[in-house]
Amino acid sequence: MKTHKKVLLTLVALIIANITPAKVSAQEVSGNISISGAFALYPITVKWAEEFKKKNPKVKIDIQAGGAGKGITDVLSKVTDIGLVSREINAAEYKKGAYPIAVTKDAVIPTISASSPFKTVLYQKGIKKETFNNIFITGKYKTWNTLGIKSAAPIHVYTRSDAAGAAETWAAYFGKKQEDLQGVAVFGDPGLAQAVQRDPSGIGFNNIVYIYDTKTNKPTNGIVPAPIDLNNNGKLDPDENFYGDTNKLIAAIASGKYPSPPARDLYFVTTGKPKNAAVKAFLKYILTEGQKYVSEAGYIKLSQEKLKKELGKVN
């Protein structure tokens, strides 16, 4: 009897030993993930990586910002596992195997210095799309009095020097490409924000997270949005003035009040459908549990329908 009991306990122990490791290995993820690309996605990607690694400490994630152009080049050259891209993927990139997965949404916002002497007037009148076109594309407007402001001060225009999704998206607002943008070229979102901040006569553009403080929801870094007169009536109506905090701006983007472009989806791009187990686990985390960090980080959540569609690309 004792022998039978002993055998039974041994069998149970063996069964448990065989089952338990299988459960653990199914949950544990290990490996390396290399990521580079858009400044627009860099802050939220860092947050996602930090939270993901708390649950998966055996995964090492290396993230480098450098612009959307670097992101797409690196991933298609297989230098990295993931490219951060803040613009639409073009036909040539699809042909090379680009496999985009939308993870969140934001917008490119035109900016002026917080110390701009024209700020009060601009927030009364707004700036028409045609006016922005004549500043950034044609270069026709060179002084602030062309905007109906009593000042012959020159307009100092700033753009991006790196292949940037923000620049490509801002140019797309006018039906153009990044290379069509006028202005002094500055590297990166932080660099462009700093250039405009230092120049009371300057105008540029930035992604939301480089304009607003995520804790106060107010503009920071010494720059403020240059408001768009969306209905072209020569004044900034109350329902067009949603730049005071990120909650109002995000609501305007989500509802379509703020135009797209310059609002746009943001992508994690792989070469072909992802096969790396760690990459797949990270993408699944971002599109599910990781979405709870999107709003607090200053981005816009994708719809549940869109998230489900993007998740299907990973599974």
pLDDT digits (tens, 9 = 90+) for 68-100: 999 999 999 999 999 999 999 999 999 999 999
Give the β-pairing of 223-225 and 98-113: antiparallel
- Please tell me the predicted confidence (pLDDT) of residue 296: 87
> Domain of 166: which CATH number?
3.40.190.10
Residue 14 is predicted with a pLDDT of 42
- For residue 303, give the amino acid letter: S
Q: Are 168 and 180 in contact (CB under 8 A)?
A: no
Residue-wise pLDDT for 269-314, tens only, equals: 999 999 999 999 999 999 999 999 999 898 999 999 999 999 999 9
Q: What is the mean pLDDT of residues 198-209?
A: 97
Amino acid at 180: D
pLDDT in tens, 133-156: 999 999 999 999 999 999 999 999
Sign of CA dihedral 132, 138, 143, 146: negative
Amino acid type, 11: L
Measured in whole angstroms, the distance separating CA 106 from the mean position of its chain's CA atoms is: 6
In the predicted structure, residue 1 carries a pLDDT above the cut 80: no
Burial class (CB in 10 A: 0-12, 13-18, 19+), 52: buried
pLDDT at 80: 98
- What's the predicted TM-score (pTM) here? 0.86
Render pLDDT for 228-256 as a digit per residue (tens, 0 to 9): 999 999 999 999 999 999 999 999 999 99
Q: What's the mean per-residue pLDDT of the chain?
A: 92
For 186, list phi and psi in degrees, rounded to 5.
Answer: -125, 145
Last residue of a domain, one of 221, 242, 263: 263
Q: Are 224 and 305 contained in the same domain?
A: no
H helix and E strand count, the chain:
11, 9
Are 112 and 258 in the same domain? yes
* Closest-CA residue to 264 (of 255, 253, 275): 253
Same-domain pairing of 121 and 222: yes
| Contact status, residue 109 vs residue 281, Cβ threshold 8 Å | no
User: Residue 27 CA to chain centroid, in angstroms?
Assistant: 29
Percent of the chain with pLDDT over 90: 88
76 within some domain: yes
Q: Which domain holds residue 222?
A: 107-263
Shared domain check, 121 and 75 = no
Residue 249 covered by a domain: yes
Res. 205 pLDDT band, cuts 50 70 90? very high
For residue 62, is it within any domain?
Answer: yes
Q: Looking at 221, 247, 263, which one is the last position of a domain?
A: 263
Domain co-membership, 141 together with 249: yes
What confidence tens digit (pLDDT) does each residue in 56-70 have?
A: 999 999 999 999 999
72 and 125 both lie in a single domain: no
Around Cβ 258, how many Cβ atoms within 10 Å? 20
Looking at the fold, whether 162 and 271 belong to one and the same domain comes out as no
Domain shared by 86 and 231, yes or no: no
For residue 10, being part of any structural domain is answered with no
Name the domain boundary from 247, 263, 279: 263
- Same domain, yes or no, for 298 and 241? no
Q: What is the pLDDT of residue 88?
A: 94
Q: Are 185 and 159 in contact (CB under 8 A)?
A: yes
Q: How far is CA 116 from CA 52, 123, 158, 198, 298, in A?
A: 41, 12, 15, 10, 25
Q: CA-to-CA distance for 171 and 181, rounded, in angstroms?
A: 7
Q: Is residue 36 in a domain? A: yes
One domain, residues 47 and 121: no
Q: Are 94 and 121 part of one and the same domain?
A: no
Other beta carbons within 10 angstroms of residue 27's beta carbon come to: 10
Residue 1 counted as domain residue: no
Amino acid identity of 141?
A: Y
Domain membership of residue 13 (yes or no) is: no
pLDDT of residue 27: 61
The whole-number pLDDT of residue 16 equals 42
62 and 163 inside one domain: no
Domain count, the chain: 2
Q: Rounded CA gap, 84 and 299, in Å?
A: 15
- DSSP single-letter state for residue 80: S
Percent of the chain with pLDDT over 70: 91
Domain assignment present for 12: no
